[in-house]
A and B are shown apart, each in its own frame.
Chain A
Amino acid sequence: MLHFISEVLQYPFLQYALAAGLLSAVACGSIGPFVAARRITFIAGGIAHSVLAGLGGALYLNRVHGWTWLEPMHGAVVAALGTAALIALVSLKAREKEDTLIGALWAVGMAAGVLFIYATPGYNQNLMSYLFGNILMVAPADLTRLLIMDIVVAGTTIALYNRFLAICFDEEFARSRGINVELYYVILLGLTALAVVALVSVVGIVMVIALLTLPVATSAQFTRVLWKQMVLTTLVSGCLTTGGLWLSYGPDLPAGATIVMLAGVTYLAVLTVKKLLRGRLLLQQAAREGSGAPDEDHRI
């Protein structure tokens, strides 16, 4: 631990990695609870995987056609937003085709990405780092980009909180109040896309879903109010990325995988402790009342 801290103080690349983890936690906490509440994790997964097409495409254009201004991350943002828009359009017009479309974008996006990277000459370590993340390679420019994404995602979710809450809870009722459900849904998916791109740089495409779901599921064990889940998820994600980085650094493990593993273990631990505590409480209550069943039903 102390060793890790002194290393952090010494090496900028570790500072960048830590900052990237904390910044992505903000994106994760701002949008994750909405993704869970609206149950659109599968859509987020589709967006994440389609990002590879953008990363690969931009890399290809950069190296082969000399578009030096175009960085892979630009491609990622374009691919994620494009996928989100397409899914939003289809899910609003023809919900029954939504699943097929997500599945298709998921797989075809991956395939396009792989082909682009294959066609790009030169030594290519990129595919692995795109898929599984490489937080230790984060540069100051990436941090600026992450910060901008955070401001957009967190700022919008806070500003539109009431609207988002209403359309996630009951789309039809929101519509009956005259709310433009379609517009807000498209914005919600767009923000999800940005958050996904932010998380890709930390844990990679394959494990984005873990960071978008596990910290939310963990905080949902403590609060059933969405804005509180946003705050708590940000804190939990920040601890997870920092903790994962620390755990992986000594034994030189891949940071992304360690973070995700830590997220999973944390969730399971919280769940288990909560179950045990509740079991004990019920037992105590039953013992106090001298009956087998706890009486909590005064409600209709």
Chain B
Amino acid sequence: MNPNPFDKAEKVIELKDVTFAYEGETVMAGVNIDIHRREFASVVGPNGSGKSTLIKLILGLLKPLSGSVRVFGQPPEKVRQRIGYAPQHAQVDPQFPATLLDVVLMGLLRPDKGIFGRHTREDREAAIAALEMVDLADRMAQPFSALSGGQRQRALIARALASNPEILIFDEPTANLDANAEFKLYDLMQELNRERTIILVSHDLGFVSQIVHTVICVRYNVQVHPTSELTGDMITELYGGDIRMVRHDHRCTEEGHNVALHK
């Protein structure tokens, strides 16, 4: 295995021998993952392979059957305020009656804030700052339903950013987006990665491989590869059979096409 540049960095997420079962059926077994500070890790795998399960384990929304999940050396539910989570925009109701600012303020709710969960002036300022990062601050008073798909996705990212977390987890943020919106989103993620650890669930291996450091392949067991190791064979093995891969960075040589996957 190639040396991972993050091997010496601080581990922020650590899964040890994690096994998880859903309704008696083992979904994943013997999973070991280390993710380091400021690493950009992409989680890939076919539908139903357990990508979401893995994320929910890290978020502390699911408990492993055996093994341990540690975030910043603690159980995930203890460090929730340091993790930001952005689901797919298709997962929320686009017609939901709330303004953009309302949605982002949800990212600042916390259980220890009294039973009412009133927002303070600092909350509003933090929410606006998060909206500025995703370039939507000028639209904060608009209803969520007035936004386009790409904007809604960025709104959910702003919601995750509002509490200024050190780890960001994105679940297929580019699903159902047009190419332009997708491109902008990858730019944003790369920008965010300068100071934050990022975990990105994605089906778009080819594109992602240019900005991520580590690829976590999920299919019952989990394998972690540095991006430079990723080969077409591995992808075929992972997804089984033919898959189409978009080559965003390929070169034509005399030998034919050569998929280039660089860090």
Q: Contact: B111 with A162, CB < 8 Å? A: no
Determine which of A160, A172, A223 lies in contact with B97 in the assembled complex, contact meaning CB atoms within 8 Å: A223
Determine which of A159, A172, A179 lies in contact with B109 in the assembled complex, contact meaning CB atoms within 8 Å: A179
State the total of A-B contacts with C-beta under 8 angstroms.
98
- B77 located at the interface, meaning its Cβ lies under 8 Å from any Cβ of chain A in the complex: yes
Report, as a range, how many residues of chain B touch the other chain: 35 or more
Q: Contact: A169 with B103, CB < 8 Å? A: yes
Of A5-13, A116-124, A224-232, the one contacting chain B is A224-232
A107 to B149 alpha-carbon distance, docked (Å): 41
Closest to A183 in B: B115
- B146 located at the interface, meaning its Cβ lies under 8 Å from any Cβ of chain A in the complex: yes
Contacts A162-B109, A165-B106, A169-B103 hold; do A225 and B117 have CB atoms under 8 A apart? no
A226 to B106 alpha-carbon distance, docked (Å): 14
Contacts A169-B93, A224-B145 hold; do A162 and B61 have CB atoms under 8 A apart? no
Rounded to whole Å, the gap between the CB of A95 and the closest CB of chain B is: 13
Rounded to whole Å, the gap between the CB of B130 and the closest CB of chain A is: 14
Q: Is the interface of A mostly helix, strand, loop or mixed?
A: helix
A249-283 vs B, CB cutoff 8 Å, 1 = contact: the mask equals 00000000000000000000000000000000000
- A78 located at the interface, meaning its Cβ lies under 8 Å from any Cβ of chain B in the complex: no
Of B2-10, B177-185, B241-249, B254-262, the one contacting chain A is B177-185
Q: Contact: B117 with A163, CB < 8 Å? A: yes
Q: Contact: A225 with B150, CB < 8 Å? A: no
A220 to B97 alpha-carbon distance, docked (Å): 8
Q: Contact: B92 with A170, CB < 8 Å? A: yes
Interface residues of A (CB under 8 A from B): 33, 37, 39, 159-160, 162-163, 165-166, 168-170, 172-180, 220, 223-226, 229, 299-300
Interface residues of B (CB under 8 A from A): 59-61, 77, 80-81, 83, 85, 87, 91-93, 95-99, 102-103, 105-107, 109-111, 115-119, 143-148, 150-151, 159, 178, 180-181, 184
